Structure 1
Amino acid sequence: MPRKPFIILSIFLLSWLVTAQSCMKMRISDTKAVQEFREAGVVLHIEDFDVDGFNLHAVHTGDDTLPTLFFIHGSPGSWYAFEVYLKDKDLLKKYRMYSIDRPGFGYSQFGNDMNMEDQAKIIYPFINSIKNGKPLYIIGHSLGGPILVKLAADHPDDFKGMVILAGSIDADEEPKELWRGLLYYTPLQYFMPGAFRPSSNEIWAFKKELKDLDDEIRNISCDVYVVHGDKDAFVPVGNAYYAQKAMINARSFHLKILKGAPHFIPWEPWYGEVKEVLMNMN
């Protein structure tokens, strides 16, 4: 390659490499979030929890004497994915609500992606620290789904219920996506913008771990609520039917298939459907 085009290409690649790591982090500053919630008439509490040197970032709203909803976002994302729930006045009458930045996202040591088991080991101590003697429900969307399964399987006595929203929990339903392996094992991953790098890395790791959940999923003994769209192009609806078949020891199992709904069911126009499930849990 001639010298000048090579220099131009090198400058472009270096510039993109720097830019890619600083953009599209999919998070909101604490200051801005607190102000936004204040304007909505809701007090937002921010906290950071140390787990063996790892900083887990979390927020919560609501009365500490109420039962708890604990939200876990998908990939990529941050706690802010559930901001509309944390502001909802009906839910606030019934629940205290927590939402976290999963390890590697938001302000939980951004970019430090890790596998499902290690994430669960960091998240659980925080959950254990916020128990208030009232029912505790965990809710997860997409890749937050297998995290819920891991938590509920490892700690079957801790949760009154779990809500899986378009959760990716069946290894046989996962697309191969071999290109993620190419990124995972090479420096090419660093050219992916912002949160998409840790997202791609964890998805590749999770694909291998889902098989391990086949046996563990039978340990789940809480109430289970599964909501899934029948037009989900990212996480096939077969995951919902797998949960129904595999969670044989759940105290109760509730399946809600949303006709015509895609993957992004936690938000409008399907928000009301999810909220109805949360409001009607016993």
Structure 2
Amino acid sequence: MSSKKTKVFFTTSKIEFTDSIIKLDEHNVHYIQTGQKDFPTLFFIHGSPGSWDAYKEYLKDMLLLKKYRMIAIDRPGFGFSDFGTAENLQVQSKIIFDFIEKVANNKPIILVGHSMGGPVITKLAENNPKKFQQLVIISGSIDPKAENPEVWRSFIMKKPLRYLIPGALRPSNDELCWLKEDLKTMKSNLKNIVSNVVIIHGTKDRLVPYSNMKFMQDEFINSKKVDTLSIKNADHFIPWTHYNIIRDALLGIKL
């Protein structure tokens, strides 16, 4: 979403917002922020491909605004955050953590990640176990055994085919090719996660198997609390198709 369209979107809803970029060494991270600056933070991380506007309806939700400051970023390689340059899970986590340190307000931080955003927030919590109070993993791909990248992805990573891939599909293909190995590396340290966790998954998810929920329940052995919410017969796109359920789950988090 362009800056002009972003302005129209929020001003039409009479919502105050920040649209900015923070520079971190050689990286740029674009973000949108709404809500009271001294509230706990809902920190949204989108899937692949995607951008901050995957969460635009949440950022203007009046019920959420009564409880949270909300920030949604463009992940590295997408939107206005170094568009086109994909990063693996470890590098993404480091960039995003540095960004979070810049915008922290000494209030609890709740990480919300959908799809590829799920492993990203899991990596953040694994690497920084005392930083985050709560994870909300929505349709997240965490189990390396359940991640089966299509064979064609590796072929179109190579020149000249990769330059025929349009727009955000190129960095998306790159990071999805790396994801299985990234998840294998992450698995050995999932025990580091001590945050409370909410896992939300559709039972008919065709892109990220529902079996990920059981995997997380078994692996998050040191999390203070793990709650699960299965949405019967729902597909992968539950942040939009089941908005009220997701929004109410976020409202129900105890701080």
**Is the partner of 1:56 in helix, strand or coil?**
strand
Query: Percent of pairs identical after alignment?
Result: 43
How far did 1:178 drift?
1.4
Q: Kindly indicate whether residue 165 of structure 2 is the aligned counterpart of residue 192 of structure 1.
A: yes
**Is the partner of 1:184 in helix, strand or coil?**
coil
What residue is the counterpart of 2:60 in the other structure?
Answer: 87
- Counterpart CA distance in 1 for 2:103 and 2:188 is 29
What residue is the counterpart of 1:130 in the other structure?
Answer: 103
TM-score, normalised relative to structure 2? 0.98
Please say if residues 153 and 177 of structure 2, whose CA atoms lie closer than 8 Å, have aligned partners that are also in contact. yes
How far did 1:132 drift?
1.3
Please say if residues 201 and 213 of structure 2, whose CA atoms lie closer than 8 Å, have aligned partners that are also in contact. yes
Q: Which moved more, 1:205-214 or 1:81-90?
A: 205-214
How far did 1:129 drift?
1.5
How far did 1:186 drift?
3.3
What residue is the counterpart of 1:101 in the other structure?
Answer: 74
Segments ≥4 residues shifted beyond 4 Å:
none
Q: Kindly indicate whether residue 254 of structure 2 is the aligned counterpart of residue 273 of structure 1.
A: no
- Counterpart CA distance in 1 for 2:146 and 2:2 is 36
**Is the partner of 2:156 in helix, strand or coil?**
helix
The correspondence of residues 242-257 of structure 1 with structure 2, limited to 5 A, is: 242-257=215-230
What residue is the counterpart of 2:87 in the other structure?
Answer: 114
Amino acid at match of 1:158: K
**Is the partner of 1:98 in helix, strand or coil?**
strand
Please say if residues 46 and 58 of structure 1, whose CA atoms lie closer than 8 Å, have aligned partners that are also in contact. yes
User: Unaligned regions of 5+ residues in structure 2, if any?
Assistant: none
What residue is the counterpart of 2:203 in the other structure?
Answer: 230
How far did 1:187 drift?
2.2
- Counterpart CA distance in 1 for 2:156 and 2:183 is 20
Amino acid at match of 1:228: H
Structure possessing the higher radius of gyration over alpha carbons: 1
- Counterpart CA distance in 1 for 2:203 and 2:148 is 17
- Counterpart CA distance in 1 for 2:229 and 2:218 is 14
How far did 1:173 drift?
0.4
How far did 1:136 drift?
0.6
Aligned pairs, how many?
A: 254
Amino acid at match of 2:210: V
TM-score, normalised relative to structure 1? 0.88
User: Unaligned regions of 5+ residues in structure 1, if any?
Assistant: 1-27
What residue is the counterpart of 1:33 in the other structure?
Answer: 6
How far does the alpha carbon of each residue in 1:208-261 deviate from its partner, in whole angstroms, 9 at most, with x for none? 111011111110001000000000000000111111110000010000010010
How far does the alpha carbon of each residue in 1:61-115 deviate from its partner, in whole angstroms, 9 at most, with x for none? 0001110000000000000000000010000000000000000000001101111
